[in-house]
Structure 1
Amino acid sequence: MAPSAISPISSPSTEKSLPSKSQDVDAMAAMAHRGKSLPLMPKFKTHAETRQWQLEHMAGAFRVFASEGYSEGISGHISVRDPEHADRFWINPLGVHFGMMRASDMICVNLDGDVIGGNVEGSINAAGFQIHSAVHRARSDVHAICHTHSVNGRAWSAFAKPLEMLNQDVCYFYNAHSVYSDYGGIANEASEGERIAASLGQGKAAILMNHGLLTVGKTVDEAAFLFCLMERSCGVQLAIEAAGLEKHYVSDEEAAYNFKMASTPECLYTEFQPHLRYEEHKCRGDYKS
């Protein structure tokens, strides 16, 4: 019997080689070896189309947060700056569980707290407004903000210490996160929100002592992925501290390289898409309505 035909294997000289760290490689191009490039963030022709897409992804992010166990009573909020009006942002209504959030639930407010549109019958978290409005005022480059009282984030925040570069993934926060160590109680006053915004500075995230975590991004997808990653990183750090063994740190050089290659807005947007698609699969896109 004749042997079965076997597809020829390309010689090493014809293979697409992986980029070396010495090369100036585009971060998105480096994520996929061979095959099609990963999809970039979509662009729309109208503000209305962009707005609807943002609200759908915002609601989807809440569904992911619910699956991750970040819900805690009426605490926690995500905001997204309106694509047409820079002085307005969308935020979740008070008292709706993350796992039930829909795009149509979101409320549009201006930086003074006036309800402008969306779910005008809903109420918003007063402390949430103070935090989000202060960050949106301070950072015109920020389009989305995430904050919840997640378990590991609250636990690590009690130490008022930044995360250490102890593994590859936490390097996404290398020199890009801060600690707000002046806890002023529930942020019902503008001054507390302003202090949190000042502590965040130009970073991607902040650990709020005795409170929780806050992340920001160019898209809600970026901010949401960073939040999930920071929460897990706090859990990893807590486990390492509990072990009490000698730590081995990622070097500054390697941490800086990891940050450059993996922590761009485009990469972080892409990182969140599997989580979002899984939620869409589970609820058949219910959150988009």
Structure 2
Amino acid sequence: MSPSAIADLLPTTLPITSKTITPAKEHHEHGMQDKTPIAAISHGDVVLPGVPSFTSMELKRQWQLEHMAAAFRHWSREGYVEGISGHISVRDPEAEDVFWTNPLGKHFGLLKASDMIAVNFDGEVVGGNRTRPPNAAGFLIHSAVHKARPDVHAVCHAHTVYGKAWSAFGKPIDMLTQDSCKFYNAHSVYNSYGGVVLASAEGELIAKALGPTNKACILQNHGLITVGNTVDEAAFLFLSLEHACQTQLLVEAASQGGNLSKVLISDEEAEYTYRMESDSETCYAEFQAYYDWEDYHTKGDFKN
């Protein structure tokens, strides 16, 4: 694809024709706004723990790799495996121009912390596992996002069934449910598919489409990409966006007969829900339920 191609946020035509209605306006009380989001969801005196702190870069790096491996194990159980496609990256805590990613060709359900590969922005393998290469398309996408977004520490991308299906329409998701609101004014669409990403210009276009502040991007005819301050946040947002795409497809299918109309959440309620549920610490905490489940069932195998 030519670098001059434009990554529009919306297509010129909308293929979905279901009817949408706006409910009557009612006043709703918005509570807990004086608390942090993670404190707001924690009833009583005990607050759910957020992202931990570390006494050394080595400890933080190992923690990141263990949680990255757990995210892949979770992806395997969710059925996100599509051959050898899909990748997660996490920025090294010490070297800002280095990120860790998964080896090409190893099943997500087998990945361990010791399998991960450290790559710098120039594409050089600078640490970790040297027995397998990283995914070339993965490097081009993730390096572009990490360069463009210094605030992003983790990036997730995979070719999931519902994400791919909804991406074919080239549209953002609607604010149909409380969970969809995690992406209110925080996701975009890259609707200029350029084939398998094997050129740096294509990775840069994807990073451009993601934008300077968004948490996610729907890659038309391709899949989903999510970002976060931790691999846990990015992984949970990926799961939530995949579910939002599934929900959207079900709602669109049900409404095509003409007897049912979609009711969207109002901007006011979507904004409040986004603020309370899409916080980085809260999304990190959301993923810990999956981390603990993997830890229990694998007896911590992914940490090795």
Matched, 1:271 2:281: no
Q: CA deviation at 1:35?
A: 4.2
Measured in 1, the distance between the counterparts of 2:220 and 2:160 equals 13
Question: Which residue in 2 is equivalent to 1:229?
Answer: 240
Q: Does 1:112 align with 2:122?
A: yes
The AA in structure 1 aligned to 2:54 is F
- Structure-2 residue corresponding to 1:170: 180
Letter in 2 for 1:190: S
Q: How does 1:77-116 map to 2 (within 5 A)?
A: 77-116=87-126
Q: Structure 2 counterpart of 1:96, which letter? A: K
Measured in 2, the distance between the counterparts of 1:39 and 1:54 equals 17
Report Cα offsets for 1:17-76 as digits up to 9, x if no partner: xx9438433211101111411012110011000000000000000000001000110100
Work out the CA distance in 1 between the residues paired with 2:233 and 2:117: 21
Structure 1 segment 235-274 matched on structure 2, within 5 A = 235-244=246-255, 245-274=260-289
Higher relative contact order (CA 8 A, sep 6+): 2
Report the residue type matching 1:214 in the other structure.
I
RMSD over aligned Cα, in angstroms?
1.0
**Is the partner of 1:43 in helix, strand or coil?**
coil
Whole-Å Cα distance in 2 between the matches of residues 282 and 102 of structure 1? 14
Greater displacement, 227-236 / 21-30: 21-30
Could you tell me which residue of structure 1 aligns to residue 42 of structure 2? 32
Match for 2:299: what amino acid?
R
**Counterpart residue type for residue 77 of structure 1:** H
Cα gap change, 1:194 to 1:281, in 2 (>3 Å): same
Higher mean alpha-carbon deviation, 28-37 vs 70-79, is at: 28-37
CA pair 232-94 structure 1, distance change in 2 beyond 3 A? same
Q: Is the contact made by 2:30 and 2:272 (CA closer than 8 Å) also made in structure 1?
A: no
5+ residue gaps in structure 2?
Answer: 1-28
Could you tell me which residue of structure 2 aligns to residue 156 of structure 1?
166
Q: Secondary structure at the match of 1:213?
A: strand
1:93 Cα deviation from its structure 2 partner:
0.1
The one-letter amino acid paired with 1:104 is S
Q: Quick one: distance in 2 between partners of 1:122 and 1:84? A: 23
In structure 2, C-alpha distance between the alignment counterparts of 1:204 and 1:22, rounded to whole Å: 24
Q: 2:156 touches 2:227 (CA, 8 Å); kept in 1?
A: yes
Distance 2:47 2:160 in 1: 34
CA shift, 1:121, in A, is: 1.9
For residues 116 and 42 of structure 1, the distance between their equivalents in structure 2, rounded to whole angstroms, comes to: 26
The correspondence for 1:139, drawn from 142, 146, 149, is 149
CA distance in 1, matches of 2:103, 2:73: 14
The worse-fitting range, judged by mean Cα deviation, of 172-181 and 119-128 is 119-128
**What secondary structure sits across from 1:178 in the alignment?**
strand
Aligned length: 271
Is the CA contact (8 Å cut-off) linking 2:32 and 2:40 kept in structure 1? no
**Alpha-carbon distance in 2 for matches of 1:266, 1:229:** 15
Question: Greater Rg, structure 1 or structure 2?
Answer: 1
Distance 1:144 1:23, change over 3 A: closer
SS of the residue corresponding to residue 90 of structure 2 reads strand
Establish whether residue 210 from structure 1 lines up as the match of residue 210 from structure 2: no
* 1:56 lines up with 2:66 in the alignment: yes
Q: Distance in 2 between the 1:262 and 1:59 partners?
A: 25
Q: Which residue of 1 aligns with 2:31?
A: 21
CA–CA separation in structure 1 for the residues paired with 2:233 and 2:32:
27
Task: Give TM-score scaled by structure 2 length.
Answer: 0.88
Partner SS state of residue 198, structure 2? coil
**Aligned partners of 1:32, 1:24: CA distance in 2, in Å?**
13
Aligned: 1:121 with 2:136 = no
1:181-221: CA deviation from partner (whole Å, max 9, x where unpaired): 00000000001100000000020000000000000000000
1:200 corresponds to 2:215: no
